[in-house]
Amino acid sequence: MRRFVIGTRGSRLALRQTAIVRDALTAIHPGVHIDVLEIRTAGDVSKAPLSEIGGAGVFTGAIEEALLDGRIDIAVHSLKDLPPRDTDGLLLAAIPARADARDALVTRSGATLANLMAGARVGTGSARRAAQLQLLRPDLVPVDIRGNVDTRIRKVDAGEYDAAVLALAGLERLGLAGRAAQVFSPDEMVPAVGQGCLAVQVRAADRDARALAEPIDDPPTRASAACERAFLARLGAGCRLPVGAYATVEESTLRARAMIAVRDTIAVEEAKGAAGDAARIGAALAEALIARAGAGVVSAEP
């Protein structure tokens, strides 16, 4: 029987996410042999702010290269780290059921956002989170923070930051959900595209790997992800603004909410429709926000 190799980042969260995928695969395919190869990405090597080293693909490029050259057969990513269009020769064979997509506030004392002192320093590496935080509390000071989940929590506990905003899904997967002093609703803080989703990527021509991975795909999650990724793809490389999108599917109906922050204003659009029209709905949300953001702010090209 063929042995498969999964490639992943080496952080504790990435390895936990890979274990989730591997366990799901072996439950469906008893006896299959799956090894794990840890790969360092540009985002792992650099300590510079993400805004300086570039966001799209910084945590996934090296893993995709290993997949294309055959060192690995399957890649496991956080979907939000992947660019919104598939890399040539690769495809997403499975997007398993989504974890909680919301953002969470971590503080030393358990204080909520309302109870933080004026001028509190809140760590986040996300311009999207920073913009929405300042809408909720204009007196707070978002400060760039790097490092894995454990590192960011340690920095809060050590007093380097008064708080930090992290993905709730990551906290839950590491057994740290109890550190969330507050969980923001998608109305308060629109999540990042793909937040809470895992992506199982294979070579398009590798039929065995596709057959292995496809049974763990979750159709409602895939439809939600298709909407969100179409939104981001339509904004294009010219988008220089903090953006977020979140879609859900219930009984074949998709509902989506998206945002763009422009200077001191956050524009939000909502839409709903058939889950089968997910990509169209996402692109239409982008068109609506492009119109509101103004010419030249985002790419006008599809």
pLDDT at 131 over 80: yes
Looking at residue 55, its pLDDT comes to 57
Q: Do you know the residue count of the chain?
A: 302
| Bridge partner residues of 183 (DSSP) | 104
Which domains, ranges and CATH numbers included, belong to the chain? 1-95+197-217 (3.40.190.10), 103-183 (3.40.190.10), 218-293 (3.30.160.40)
**Mean per-residue pLDDT for 210-219?**
98
Please state, in angstroms and rounded to a whole number, the distance separating the CA atoms of residues 34 and 13. Answer: 19
Please state, in angstroms and rounded to a whole number, the distance separating the CA atoms of residues 166 and 153. Answer: 9
Looking at residue 264, its pLDDT comes to 78
pLDDT digits (tens, 9 = 90+) for 4-56: 999 999 999 999 999 999 999 999 999 999 999 999 876 655 555 555 545 55
Residues catalogued as catalytic: 81
Range name among 36-45, 171-180, 209-218 with the lowest pLDDT average: 36-45
Looking at residue 300, its pLDDT comes to 45
**According to DSSP H, which parts of the chain are helical?**
12-28, 42-45, 50-53, 61-68, 127-136, 149-157, 168-173, 207-213, 219-235, 278-293
Q: pTM, whole model, 2 decimals?
A: 0.92
